Chains A and B, each alone.
Chain A
């Protein structure tokens, strides 16, 4: 199994613990991740102002990968996933758009012919590698640990590009991925609630109020962590948790852990090896009892 690794903007600078644990997990499972230095921003921030410019930037990345003989790309970020997947679908199925995009790509001696599939790394684990095969590699079951799965919006929606994957309103994939480690994935209200990250720069108090809502549902649920698969959801729930506590006069102290970190522990890595010390809200039980 070989994938071009699309790191995006946020992961390599603000979520090195995610990147580190993702790479370790891939290596242990025998999934080859190919670094492509020419990759740029996925285009997501451009969509709101000019969707064609966004499409150009997304397709630039796809063209670079295709040119290098890559046929599958994987990402760690939900926003990168949805942006690249939507662009890919558009180019594959819309002749006019494909022609327009390629006219621009030609100026850089590039072209994109639609030969790539894009998948989030958690989806690669779930679909391409498979739950049963991962289970065979588990050496340290996380029995007794309780987690709350947070899918994030762009991992499963819009269903028009994810219809073959998971339910857009009642998904199961991440819960199953958490369960395969031996841990419990709890049920809680509004599991599908958005983190608010998309409007953090537009209206901070509204964005924080959205994150606060989910954290308030998880208070007193006695969980060892909120499981994230998106660097920006983590920015909201983890990096901003202190600010949220202050703004709404609450106390949460809920650790936010990347899925690849708990899978890494279950695969036998030490907390240090998967960057658990970099998590801002210390997942005490994970750090001390493993």
Chain B
């Protein structure tokens, strides 16, 4: 990937380092232990933690935040356990995703989950059908959706995300 110096955003690094988990980005000395430990990288070369970290440090904002590959981390934490510089790589990947969302890029698969969270306060609906099935198995019924005020705060945040307000 070519690096266009005139298009680099030197503030990207600061934005990431302000997010929880992003604080230690600049500690990376590019040894590649993260990439060598990454099970996703072994299957899909586009997901390369060392490269993503380098791109972030350089300020390749569009390439990092708009890319599909930042969403490919499974959060297995193997890179984080092995990083000799304590970059807390898994949390850093999360911080990068949080910045991407703030800048207006969110992976569509998350939006579907939020619709479910808004509707059911859980990822799956628990209604009469589910409770009948549970009863047959001897499991206690679960309360269907009950939208307390506090969950509404989260609902509002999610609706904001769905609408693109960040």
Interface range, B side: 35 or more
Partner of A20, one of B75, B90, B109, B139: B139
**Do residues B140 and A49 form an inter-chain contact, with CB atoms below 8 A?**
no
Asked if B48 CB lies within 8 Å of chain A CBs, one says: no
Asked if A19 CB lies within 8 Å of chain B CBs, one says: yes
Partner of B94, one of A10, A23, A41, A48: A48
Question: A51-B94, A158-B90 given as contacts; is B157 within 8 A of A41 (CB)?
Answer: no
Closest to A206 in B: B44
Partner of A49, one of B74, B77, B110, B126: B110
Write out the residue numbers on chain B whose beta carbons fall within 8 Å of the beta carbon of A153.
74-78
Asked if B19 CB lies within 8 Å of chain A CBs, one says: yes
Complex formed: what's the CA distance from A110 to B149 in Å? 11
Closest to B145 in A: A40
Write out the residue numbers on chain A whose beta carbons fall within 8 Å of the beta carbon of B124.
9-10, 13-14
Closest to A60 in B: B150
Asked if B28 CB lies within 8 Å of chain A CBs, one says: no
**Do residues A199 and B130 form an inter-chain contact, with CB atoms below 8 A?**
no
Interface range, A side: 35 or more
Tell me how far the C-beta of A253 lies from the nearest C-beta in chain B, rounded to whole angstroms.
23
Supply 18 further A-B pairs (C-beta < 8 A) apart from A49-B106, A60-B151. Answer: A9-B122, A13-B124, A14-B124, A16-B134, A48-B71, A49-B161, A50-B98, A60-B154, A153-B76, A157-B80, A158-B80, A158-B91, A193-B39, A194-B76, A194-B78, A196-B74, A209-B43, A210-B40
Sorted nearest first, the 9 A-B pairs with minimum C-beta distance are A108-B150, A194-B76, A157-B77, A9-B123, A198-B74, A201-B109, A37-B143, A13-B124, A153-B76
Residues of A bordering B, CB below 8 Å = 7, 9-10, 12-14, 16, 19-20, 23, 35, 37-38, 40-41, 45-53, 56-57, 60, 104-105, 107-108, 110, 153-154, 157-160, 168-169, 192-194, 196-199, 201-203, 206-207, 209-210, 213, 275
